[in-house]
Structure 1
Amino acid sequence: MLKLYLYGYLNRIQSSRRLEREAQRNVELMWLTGRLAPDFKTIADFRKNNGKGIKNACRTFISICRDLNMFKDAVIAIDGSKFKAVNNKSKNFTSAKLKSHITRVEKHIQQYLDALDNADNEDEEPRETIQQRIAHLKGKLKEYKALQKQVEAIPDKQLSQTDPDARLMKLRSFGGQVCYNVQSAVDAKHHLIVAHEVTNVPDRNQLYNVGCAAQEALANTNITVLADKGYYSGVEIKSAKDAGMLTYVPKTDTSGSNAKKIFNRTQFKYDAAKDVYHRPGDQELKYRGSETEKGKLIKRYYADVYACRGCSLKSQCTTSPYPRRLGRWEHEQVLVSVQRRLNQWPEAMLIRKQTVEHPFGTIKMWMGATHFLTRGFNNVKTEMNLSVLAYNLRRMISLLGVKPLIEAMRAV
């Protein structure tokens, strides 16, 4: 049955009903299955009930690739991509969306109640018609309020009715779409997907988890990880470093300094020996104390009040009547090292883009416009495992050829 699915995913046939038809008329599949012709329910149940086995098959194939020395360089590009779930946007609710719906329905009810007062006039609708519409709207209002209670009970305040595990996410081309965020770690040399994970959260806190999955797949802790600015998180980068990863992640500039036309943080140079920041003009911002912010220990630096008042560059430093303040995380040097490495290897982000985005595009093209066909984390993960296994198989055939790959697989 796994052979049937692999053939289907390699040939853009993922639906169990379509595989049922192909098994009855496709000569290649007749040979592959020994003229067995399972019905769609049997085919679908295999995928549903054998998620763990399919995941192990995916991992085993990567271990075969590892034994063939396909991952010598251990340079991995990480990225996430949104795959559409089986859940229409109209069947997804958030607190804000339900509040808007309730306000709109209440407004319409009031309009019809006002119309009911004037229903005896000849130009107005009959009272019965208006009452029917009010009853319908009250039913919708009751439904929305019940959904509101369900949403409030969910930790992330979001409810997807068709696929409860899917979440509304922003897409560049479609605005918002109910999706899963698929994370992948791709080998930079041969473009093989060494690790992947299906999530329903943003990229921000995924760097360490995906990096660890790549380390496990490669049986190597000393890997180089390339990721885009969506993964920039001090805690994640520090955790990755502690695990042995060498990370290249560009920083997102969230400062409002440029808009205010004042000195950007990057223009302040840190002196580790004196534990001070030097501002343009050589004014010193000295250490004044520490505080915990969102679980991180932050050291605070600012200049002397009197020296700041008499400084000719004050208007370029801050718009506040108080001295310019800077915060420094206790592990800030880890982030400085990441930026230094990026400056020394400016092509890193181009390599990341060329490496990790191609597999996503290929798999989405194979899936078609609908992307996932199943619902729920377990089933969707199995679908993705089959897609990744098919992609890696096709890639290895291109790299090695059919016969050498068959020999390597038989040797396992």
Structure 2
Amino acid sequence: MFVLKCRTDRSLSCRDAYLNRVRSSRRLEAEAHRNIEAIWLLRRLTLDFRTIAAFRRVNRSAFRKVFREFVILCRQLDLFGRELLAVDGTRIKAVNNKDRNFTRASLSKFIHEADEKLIDCMKRLDEGDADEDGAGAGNGSGDSKLAEKIAAIGGKRARHKAMIEELDHTDEDQISLTDPDARAMARMTKVGVGYNVQLAVDTKHKLIVEQEVSNQVLDMGLLAPTAAAAMEALGVERIEVVADRGYFKIEDIEACEAAGITAYVPKPIRGPAVREGFFSKEEFRYDPVRDIFHCPADQVLSPRHYGKSRDNVKIDYTNRAACKACHLRERCTKTFRRVSRLENEAILDRMAARLAVRPDILDRRRESVEHPFGTIKQWMNRGAFLMRRLENVRGEFSLTALAYNIKRAITIIGAPDLIAAVKA
């Protein structure tokens, strides 16, 4: 059994537990009493689950440092190619049920529905009072239940109103009650409420170079910081990185280029023209010398309007006169076609040219970064976090990434050589 140098037996127990798919502090306490390997590793210490849980919580930042030290060890053993990184993200469920997560839209919808119910209840209560005055006898039981219902709806409405006020105060767009840092992820992930785990994987041996846990729902904007941290860990000044369409953001690609990172990110096919079945922007050829677009009908679109897209200057290219008489108009636009281009879009043109030369690099991304995700989620049974709050979750996943790298290194060079490298 491979054992890293560490200061306490509790650290050994946590690391060994993650290698052997035992993450719960209560289950680890049980293993310390019955598992021969754990008894030997812990030197017959029988740790209480509270001690294990407290150790993991208090030393959460240290686990990330240990992970990085092991990355340096793997670099010294020449286990990294240090040429190409594959970056991707996956969503892992948090300790927060989706029923205890509220967005601003869902809160507003509930308050609106509660107001309608309260109006209806008050109307029924008034009708009951009118019937009572006319008949000379009342329905005390019915009025009492209706009053209780009004009080319940009003109380729930007040709680939801307080949550909206909290969102206004914090400038957040959603709130989670069990784990305040967890966020509702995109619907296609089927995770519900969780965290976004980012990995940078070296393509030589599929070892994790950098890992980070975020509560950002989308991957856009996370490529440059993840790749830059990985590049620093590998000790190189330049590196290539490949990611999927979810990372396509011009500011991120620009930041990569400035940091010496050559990015390969395919452009997503999206936009109102694509949704309506018209020609996509890619079918319009840009001429950088003349600063014009050639449309599919070989007409010239010139720059006409200037605006802003986030912090970028956006230029719209049009030719209304050509669109009026165009024989392809029904396939292109309803009125006249407008093609937008950012002032710094040459960065994306360069990346598109690189991808055209190396289309196979996208397959390398898939086969590299999907390996650790598949291993972590399936073999290591890592479908959900056990801890709450972002910093605790980051420490928890650092142990997971460390366990994956240890197991992978053992597979590559064997346990004896790895133990010898640790002791050296």
TM-score by length of 2: 0.89
| Higher mean C-alpha displacement, 190-199 vs 146-155 | 146-155
Q: Residue 178 of structure 1 aligns to which amino acid in structure 2?
A: V
Is 2:215–2:390's contact at 8 Å kept on the other side of the alignment? no
Return the letter of the residue paired with 1:216: E
Deviation at 1:357, TM superposition (A): 1.8
Percent same amino acid at aligned positions? 39
Shift of 1:313: 4.3
Indicate whether 1:192 and 2:207 are aligned.
yes
CA distance in 2: counterparts of 1:124 and 1:369, whole angstroms: 56
Contact 1:93 1:151 in 2 (8 A): no
1:398 aligns with 2:411: yes
Determine if contact 1:115/1:124 at 8 Å carries over to the other structure.
no
Q: Go from structure 1 to structure 2 and tell me whether the alpha carbon gap of 1:104 and 1:367 turns closer, same or farther (over 3 Å shift).
A: farther
Moved more, 42-51 or 130-139: 130-139
Q: Who is 1:229 aligned against?
A: 245
Tell me the number of residue pairs that the alignment of Structure 1 and Structure 2 aligns.
407
Structure 1 range deviating more: 58-67 or 141-150? 141-150
CA distance 1:69–1:18, change in 2 (3 Å): same
Aligned amino acid, residue 221 of structure 1 = E
AA partner of residue 235 (structure 2): A
Matched, 1:246 2:256: no
2:195 to 174, 180, 203: 180
Which of residues 107, 113, 120 in structure 1 aligns to 2:122? 113
Once the two structures are superposed, what CA deviation does each residue of 1:149-173 show, in whole Å capped at 9, x if it has no partner? 1122222221111111111112426
| Cα deviation, residue 219, structure 1 | 0.9
TM-score by length of 1: 0.92
Cα deviation for residue 211 of structure 1 reads: 0.8
Question: Does residue 277 of structure 1 match 2:290?
Answer: no
Moved more, 353-362 or 112-121: 112-121
Q: Is the 8 A contact 2:128 2:143 kept in 1?
A: no
Mean CA deviation greater in 32-41 or 61-70: 32-41
What's the counterpart of residue 5 of structure 2?
none
When residues 284 and 376 of structure 1 are mapped into structure 2, their CA distance, relative to the original with a 3 A threshold, is same
1:30 equivalent to 2:39? Answer yes
For the pair 1:334 / 2:344, whether they are aligned, the reply is no
**2:87 and 2:198 in contact (8 A); partners too:** yes
For residues 16 and 282 of structure 1, what CA distance do their matches in structure 2 show?
68
Structure 1: unaligned runs, 5 residues or longer: none
Partner of 1:286: 302
Name the counterpart of 1:160: 176
CA-atom RMSD, angstroms?
A: 2.3
C-alpha distance in structure 2 between counterparts of 1:259 and 1:375, whole Å = 40
For 1:252-292, what per-residue CA distance to the aligned partner results, in whole angstroms no more than 9, with x for missing partners?
A: 11133345454332222122222222223432223346443
Partner of 1:9: 18
The equivalent of 1:256 in structure 2 is 272
Cα deviations across residues 120-158 of structure 1 (Å, max 9, x unaligned)?
699996322222222222222222222221122222221
Relative to structure 1, is the Cα distance of residues 54 and 107 closer, same or farther in structure 2, using a 3 angstrom cutoff? same
Q: Secondary structure at the match of 1:77?
A: strand
In 1: Cα distance, 2:211 partner to 2:201 partner: 9
Q: Contact 1:24 / 1:37 at 8 angstroms: preserved in 2?
A: yes
Q: Is the 8 A contact 2:377 2:383 kept in 1?
A: no
The residue identity in structure 2 corresponding to 1:298 is: K
User: Residue 266 of structure 2: SS of its match in structure 1?
Assistant: coil
The answer to whether the Cα contact below 8 Å between 1:118 and 1:124 also exists between their aligned partners in 2 is: no
The residue type equivalent to 2:294 in the other structure is H
In structure 2, give the amino acid aligned to 1:299: I
Deviation at residue 246 of structure 1 after TM alignment: 1.4
Residue aligned with 1:203, SS: coil
Mapped partners of 1:160, 1:367: distance in 2: 27
The SS at the match of 2:192 is strand
In structure 1, the residue matched to 2:74 is: 65
Distance 2:305 2:168 in 1: 39
SS of 2:21 mapped into structure 1:
coil
